[in-house]
Amino acid sequence: MIVDLLRHGEPEGGQRYRGHGCDDPLSARGWSQMERAVRGEEEWQYVVSSPMQRCRAFAEHLAGSQALPITLESDLREVGFGDWEGRTRVELQRDRPEEYRAFYADPVHARPSGAEPLEAFRRRVEAGFESAVASLAAERVLVVAHAGVIRALVGWVMGVPDDRLFQFECDYASRTRLHRHPARGWRLIHANRV
């Protein structure tokens, strides 16, 4: 099985912290990014999506246009950012500089107030992903998700510890490919292709 992990495009409101508590729709630019990312790809047999509207709307559009079955998997929601939901980096650097620096120095232990623990997030994503694809007979699957979800899955496949997940860049509308080999399990084929 080949699984393409597609990050959503740019949401309305531009760059800001959006976990599962802030659900902005895709901007016009985000729609264009997503359409460009899938242009010429017609080999998918199944679509799985986060239920967040910045993923779901495009996933449902694509599945409908290609007559593909689709599943919404709630465990593929983005990591919760607690008090940071909806805030920009500039706002946080200005209003909470120590908290902001602490998070980027230690994203595992210096979580924003009310944020989802990283370990719990990773276990949720891994379980949701396995549940969503385990029973599929499809050989090519598209998963429309978030940067944090894609980082968690790459980390799971590659055995990357929690504190190193943020070293992996995941651009808007980029694709990361995983392959499940019958004998060797999941492997990373490529990452962050735009």
Work out the average pLDDT over 74-100.
96
Let me know: does 149 contact 126? Beta carbons within 8 Å. Answer: no
Work out the average pLDDT over 129-152.
95
Averaged confidence pLDDT in the chain:
95
Best CA proximity match to 192, nearest among 38, 180, 177: 177
Work out the average pLDDT over 89-97.
96
Place of tokens 């968690």: 152
Question: Beta strand pairing status for 46-49 and 140-145?
Answer: parallel
- Give the three-state DSSP class for 12: coil
9-31 tens-digit pLDDT:
999 998 899 999 899 999 999 99
pLDDT of residue 14: 87
- How many angstroms separate the CA atoms of 145 and 83, rounded? 22
pTM, to two decimals = 0.95
Let me know: does 142 contact 47? Beta carbons within 8 Å. Answer: yes
Q: Which residues touch 31 (CB under 8 Å, ≥6 apart)? A: 9, 58
Sheet containing 140-145: order of strands? 70-72, 46-49, 140-145, 2-7, 175-181, 185-193
State yes or no: pLDDT of 42 exceeds 90: no
State yes or no: pLDDT of 3 exceeds 90: yes
Query: What's the Cα-to-Cα distance from 71 to each of 39, 47, 48, 142, rounded to whole Å?
Result: 21, 6, 5, 11
Best CA proximity match to 192, nearest among 150, 133, 163, 158: 150
Residue bearing the bigger pLDDT, 46 or 42? 46
Banded model confidence at residue 41, pLDDT cuts 50, 70, 90: confident
- How many angstroms separate the CA atoms of 162 and 73, rounded? 22
pLDDT of residue 31: 98
The percentage of the chain sitting over the pLDDT mark of 90, rounded to a whole number, equals: 90
User: For residues 29-43, b (16+ Cβ closer than 10 Å) or e, as one string?
Assistant: ebbebbeebbeeeee
* For helices 147-158 and 118-134, angle between their N-to-C axes, nearest 10 degrees: 80
